[in-house]
Amino acid sequence: MDVKIWLASIAPVATAIGFKVVGGLVLYLIGRWLIGAAIGVLSRVLTARNLDATLQRYIANILGVGLNIVLVVAILGYFGVETTSFAALLAGVGLAVGAAWSGLLANFAAGAFLIIFRPYKVGDYIVGAGVEGTVTEIGLFNTLITAPDNVAMIVGNSKVSGDIIKNYSAHAHRRVDRTAQLAFGVDPLEAIAKLKPALAAIPNVISDPAPDVEILDFNAMGTVLAVRPYCHTNHYWQVYFDTNKLIAATFGAAGYPAPYVVEELRGGKAKS
């Protein structure tokens, strides 16, 4: 009988707690759906206004963090937690965490400056903070860079902004620097005349500025040519490798000998 009385007494409490938990779960799910919908609407509005993709992601991240904090406070208030005290506690914790994680705040501030001053944007190919690749995302604290070998690299915004940044996408074209070694006895002017028109025929090599082929240096093997076609950054590696193939094919078709070192011996004679 005591057990029945006890069960009867706690049943209303358990039922109330159960409804409370279910209500909190429903509130959470509805809140998450509303947050996703709000971010989606904001993204569509910003896209319709042709706002830069980098800035869109940054604003969406800030909105998402803010709305999630509001949702947590609302759920705590629903469960009877004094939200005013919680807000004060949250502010105090935020201050303590901010002091301890000053690096994160520095990254956050650096991210804002990256958005404002725009040394690079999403889609640019850059070198900075010791890494190289295409900028995939500029987040609240980090920049995501995808390397040419498809490895994702996450770098703190403050580290990137505090370093020298090379932005290869800042201009319409980029120069590909290659060299071609000629053997002694090969006429460099003839080699230049063969290479220049062939370079212009490589896919994605632009005509303005026209490809450069000039005498760069002389060494123990003969003459060194500078071979420099121009292309868009997106086609850099394709033009780079095609230029190497072109040099080998052109010199092979012309019958140029392989370069070799000529050494001066005593008595004025030379050996190779």
- Reply yes or no on whether the pLDDT at 151 is more than 70: yes
If asked whether residues 68 and 144 sit together in one domain, one would say no
Domain that holds residue 95: 2-100
Check: pTM over 0.75? Answer yes or no: no
Q: Residue 269: inside a domain, yes or no? A: no
Q: Residue 239: inside a domain, yes or no? A: yes
CATH of the domain at 6: 1.10.287.1260
- Our count of domains for the chain comes to 3
Q: Are 197 and 250 in contact (CB under 8 A)?
A: no
Q: Are 56 and 46 in contact (CB under 8 A)?
A: yes
Q: Residue 157: inside a domain, yes or no? A: yes
CATH of the domain at 139: 2.30.30.60
- Of the candidates 100, 133, 149, which is a domain's last residue? 100
CATH of the domain at 189: 3.30.70.100
If asked whether residues 223 and 156 sit together in one domain, one would say no
Q: Residue 265: inside a domain, yes or no? A: no
| Least confident segment among 62-66, 231-235, 246-250 | 62-66
Q: Are 122 and 54 in contact (CB under 8 A)?
A: yes
If asked whether residues 7 and 94 sit together in one domain, one would say yes
If asked whether residues 221 and 242 sit together in one domain, one would say yes
Q: Nearest Cα to 228, choosing from 190, 174, 183?
A: 174
If asked whether residues 144 and 81 sit together in one domain, one would say no
What pLDDT, in 10s, does the model give residues 73-132?
787 777 776 666 666 666 666 655 555 456 667 887 888 888 888 899 989 999 999 999
If asked whether residues 154 and 185 sit together in one domain, one would say no
DSSP summary character for residue 156? E
If asked whether residues 85 and 9 sit together in one domain, one would say yes
If asked whether residues 8 and 95 sit together in one domain, one would say yes
Cα dihedral 64, 70, 75, 76 in deg (nearest 10): 130
What pLDDT, in 10s, does the model give residues 164-173?
999 999 998 9
If asked whether residues 56 and 145 sit together in one domain, one would say no
Q: Residue 264: inside a domain, yes or no? A: no
- Of the candidates 142, 167, 192, which is a domain's last residue? 167
What pLDDT, in 10s, does the model give residues 75-89?
777 777 666 666 666
Q: Residue 238: inside a domain, yes or no? A: yes
If asked whether residues 55 and 86 sit together in one domain, one would say yes
Q: Residue 14: inside a domain, yes or no? A: yes
- Of the candidates 167, 188, 206, which is a domain's last residue? 167
Q: How far apart are the first and last CA of the chain?
A: 112
Q: Residue 105: inside a domain, yes or no? A: no
Q: Token pair for residue 248?
A: 């080998």
If asked whether residues 163 and 198 sit together in one domain, one would say no
- The CA distances from residue 155 to 33, 159, 245, in Å, are 31, 7, 36
If asked whether residues 199 and 147 sit together in one domain, one would say no
